[in-house]
Amino acid sequence: MSFKKIMAGIGVCSLGFASSAVFSADFNMRLSHGDNESNPTHHAALKFQELVEEYSDGRIEVEIYPSNQLGDEQEVAQSMRRGTIESAIVYTGNLVPLAPSAGVLMLPYAFTSSEEAWPAMDALQEPLNERISKEAGVRAVGLLEKGFRVLTTAEEPVRTLDDLEGQNIRVSPNNIAIETFKAWGIDPTPMAWAEVFSALQQGVIDGQENPYTTAISSNFYEVQDYITEIHYMMWTGPLLVSEQFYQRLPDDLQDAVDRAGVETANYERELSAKLTEEAKNELVDLGMELLGPPEDEAQWQEKAKAIWPEFYEDIGGEEWALEAQRIMDEAINNQ
Ligand code: MLT
């Protein structure tokens, strides 16, 4: 059995070496995420740790496990349902197979900017929680955002839809991403996040799509040459708490976790916006060519938006999909 599986299978209380404070806190929260320590996700994890420990007066201790140490994002989401991992930050696309209703955050071209996405996500958080707690036994205490997912490729630049032909692009394993790329004329390769860098390095795939900050933190500039700003989807990711764990907390500690979650999301969104701008310059210095949006962006949008109704069954049904869009549109219009 791998080290990470062993880590996922045992409680941290038996990991005496992990932290001496484990034994003084009333509750221990392991927080898993799939990025490394230079990614905004990890900065968010650190902020959440600081705020939970402060607002709970040390009665909750948070231990962070970056880089998929406790399992890949989908495995971790499953463990949270069972209550064997207490919290995680997971890309929405990796949660959707377990919690379809979260897919409303992923409809292609649903958001045109972070300024739109933030109030929309805030308005959606409570109604979304009612659904994902039933679907997957998790609740989002904050909704994070890292800017648009951009397409990176090696060797062949993608300036138009036609340029996609022949490219083997990895997407996160969810139907929305898969069907969107199919609408653009190619069959993408769904793959777990933990495998992406080596697949790029070995040439198993030609490209992938993730935010600018991830292209830096995951060293994609070593194995990728071009970036196209396809603007189709933002990286949104819930800061999740296992419902089983949450329900074990007394009211005052639930409040502490909720407050820390919202403040962490606000902190992470601002930080990501700043780091995204820095990442663009850094990627150019590191040799990547930034191509900007596709020359025929309107066609990309038209093809992807045309298939929205096909996604409704995958994201909790038409009624929910339309209700979620109404809630988000109202929040955007009222800001
Ligand atoms: C993915 O592409 O699977 C995710 O965006 C990776 C992540 O969580 O950063």
Nearest CA owner, ligand 1 atom 2: 172
Cα dist from 38 to 139, 154, 196, 260, whole Å:
26, 23, 17, 21
Angle of helix 297-306 versus helix 175-183 axis, rounded to 10: 130
Mutate to test the pocket of ligand 1, among 32, 144, 235 (most ligand atoms within 8 A of CB): 235
Residue with tokens 């392991």: 30
Task: State how far the Cα of 323 lies from the Cα of 124, in Å rounded to an integer.
Answer: 10
124 and 198 fall within a common domain? no
What does the longest C-alpha to C-alpha distance in the chain come to?
60
Q: How far apart are CA 291 and CA 207, in angstroms?
A: 15
59 in the same domain as 135? yes
**Phi, psi dihedrals of residue 315, rounded to the nearest 5°:** -120, 35
Is residue 145 within 6 Å of ligand 1 at its C-beta?
A: no
Q: What is the tens place of the pLDDT at every residue in 197-212? A: 999 999 999 999 999 9
Q: What is the pLDDT along the chain (335 residues), one digit of tens a residue?
A: 332 333 333 333 333 333 434 457 999 999 999 999 999 999 999 999 999 999 999 999 999 999 999 999 999 999 999 999 999 999 999 999 999 999 999 999 999 999 999 999 999 999 999 999 999 999 999 999 999 999 999 999 999 999 999 999 999 999 999 999 999 999 999 999 999 999 999 999 999 999 999 999 999 999 999 999 999 999 999 999 999 999 999 999 999 999 999 999 999 999 999 999 999 999 999 999 999 999 999 999 999 999 999 999 999 999 999 999 999 999 999 98
Whether 26 and 77 map to the same domain: the answer is yes
Q: Same domain for 286 and 179?
A: yes
Residues 157 and 223 in one domain: yes
H-state helical runs in 137-208:
161-164, 175-183, 196-201
Q: Which atom of ligand 1 is nearest to the CA of 149?
A: 5
| HSE value, Cβ hemisphere, 13 Å, CA-based, for 279 | 26
Q: What is the DSSP letter of 138?
A: E
Q: Cβ–Cβ contacts within 10 Å for residue 159, how many?
A: 15
Q: Are residues 43 and 156 in the same domain?
A: no
Strands 226-228 and 189-190: unpaired
Q: What is the pLDDT of residues 86-97, one digit of tens each?
A: 999 999 999 999
β-pairing, 150-153 with 207-210?
Answer: antiparallel
Which of 210, 213, 240, 276 to probe ligand 1 with, by most ligand atoms within 8 A of CB?
A: 210
The residue length of the chain stands at 335
Nearest to 77 by CA among 220, 208, 193, 219: 193
The sign of the CA dihedral 248, 251, 253, 256 is positive
**Same domain membership, residue 195 and residue 184:** yes
pLDDT at 6: 33
190: domain CATH number is 3.40.190.170
Residue nearest to atom 7 of ligand 1 (CA): 91
The one-letter amino acid at 207: G
- Tally the domains of the chain: 2
The pick from 42, 65, 146, 172 for probing ligand 1's pocket by mutation, whose C-beta has the most ligand atoms within 8 angstroms, reads: 172
Domain containing 258: what range?
Answer: 3-145+236-279
Same-domain pairing of 259 and 171: no
Q: Is the dihedral of CA 309, 310, 311, 314 positive or negative?
A: positive
In the DSSP assignment, the letter for residue 324 is H
Rounded distance between C-alpha atoms, residue 279 and residue 276, angstroms: 5
Token pair 């929680």: residue: 129
DSSP 146: E
Rounded CA-CA distance 290/283 in Å is 8
Same domain, 140 and 66: yes
Q: Are residues 241 and 103 in the same domain?
A: yes
CA distance 141 to 51: 13
Pairing of strands 60-65, 150-153: unpaired
Residues 259 and 178 in one domain: no
CA distance linking residue 294 with residue 162, whole number of Å? 10
| Residue 109 and residue 204 share a domain | no
